[in-house]
Amino acid sequence: MTQPLRLGLAGLGTVGTGVVRIVRQKADLLAARAGRPVTITAVSARTRDTDRGVPLSEYDWEDDPVALARRDDVDVLVELMGGSDGPAKAATEAAIAAGKDVVTANKAMLAHHGQALAEAAEAAGRLIRFEGAVAGGIPVIKVLTEGLAGNDITRVMGVMNGTCNYILTRMQATGLPYADVFEEARQLGFLEADPTLDVGGIDAGHKLALMAAIAFGCRVDFDAVELEGIERITIEDIRHAADMGFRIKLLGVSQMTGRGLEQRMSPCLVPADSPLGQLEGGTNMCVIEGDRVEQIVLRGPGAGEGPTASAVMGDVMDIARGMRISTFGQPAASLAQARPAQAATPAPFYLRMALQDKPGALAKVATVLGEAGVSIDRMRQYRHDASTAPVLIVTHKTTRNALDTALVAMRKLDVMAYAPVALRIESV
Residue 251 · residue 268 · CB < 8 Å? yes
Looking at the fold, whether 296 and 359 belong to one and the same domain comes out as no
Is 22 found in the same domain as 97?
yes
- The answer to whether residues 177 and 278 belong to one domain is yes
Give the CATH number for residue 402.
3.30.70.260
Written as one string, the DSSP assignment of 176-220 is --HHHHHHHHHHTT-S-SSTHHHHTSHHHHHHHHHHHHHHHTB--
- Indicate the range of 20-29, 151-160, 196-205, 357-366 predicted with least confidence: 357-366
- Residue 256 confidence (pLDDT) above 80: yes
What's the confidence (pLDDT) of residue 133?
A: 96
DSSP state of 27: H
The whole-chain average pLDDT of the chain stands at: 94
Is 207 one of the annotated active-site residues of the chain? yes
Least confident interval from 20-24, 190-194, 381-385: 381-385
The mean pLDDT value for 4-18 works out to 96
Q: Could you tell me if residue 248 is inside a domain?
A: yes
Query: Is residue 378 domain-resident?
Result: yes
Domain boundary among the residues 75, 104, 133 is at 104
Which residue in the list 100, 107, 207, 249 is annotated as catalytic? 207
* Per-residue confidence (pLDDT) for residue 33, from 0 to 100: 97
Q: Is residue 377 part of a domain?
A: yes
Residue 355 CB contacts under 8 Å (≥ 6 apart), including other chains: 361, 362, 365, 388, 389, 391, 415, 416, 417
pLDDT digits (tens, 9 = 90+) for 123-178: 999 999 999 999 989 999 999 999 999 999 999 999 999 999 999 999 999 999 99
pLDDT mean over 347-361: 90
For residues 169 and 270, state if they share a domain: yes
Closest CA relative to residue 2, chosen from 32, 26, 24? 32
Q: Are residues 156 and 254 in the same domain?
A: yes
Instruction: Tell me: do 71 and 165 sit in the same domain.
Output: no
Domain count for the chain: 3
Instruction: Give yes or no: residues 17 and 146 share one domain.
Output: no
**pLDDT tens column, 302-343:** 888 999 999 999 999 999 999 999 999 999 999 999 999 988
Identify whether residues 86 and 156 lie together within a single domain.
no
Domain edge (last residue) among 301, 328, 360 = 301
Does one domain contain both 208 and 79? no
Mean pLDDT for 230-258 is 95
Which of 259, 198, 267, 265 lies closest to 230, judged by CA?
Answer: 267
Q: The domain spanning residue 193 has which CATH number?
A: 3.30.360.10
Lowest-confidence region among 16-20, 156-160, 342-346, 421-425: 342-346
Q: Is residue 57 part of a domain?
A: yes
Structural domain that includes position 388 = 349-425
The residue from 283, 301, 319 where one domain ends is 301
Kindly state whether residue 337 falls inside one of the protein's structural domains: no
The per-residue pLDDT for 27 is 97
Instruction: Tell me what pLDDT residue 77 has.
Output: 98
DSSP letter string, 361-401: HHHHHHHHHHHTT--EEEEEE----SSEEEEEEEEPSB-HH
pLDDT per position as a tens digit, 269-310:
999 999 999 999 989 999 999 999 999 999 999 888 999 999
**C-alpha span between 42 and 10 (Å, rounded):** 9
Residue 418: its pLDDT value, please? 85
Residue 321 lies in a domain: no
Is 57 in the same domain as 154?
no
Do 85 and 153 reside in the same domain of the chain? no
**Has residue 256 been placed in a domain?**
yes
Whether 386 has a pLDDT exceeding 70, the answer reads no
Q: How far, in Å, CA of 19 to CA of 71, rounded? A: 20
Q: Is residue 335 part of a domain?
A: no
Residues 173 and 297 in one domain: yes
| Reported pTM | 0.94
Q: What is the CATH number of the domain that holds 43?
A: 3.40.50.720
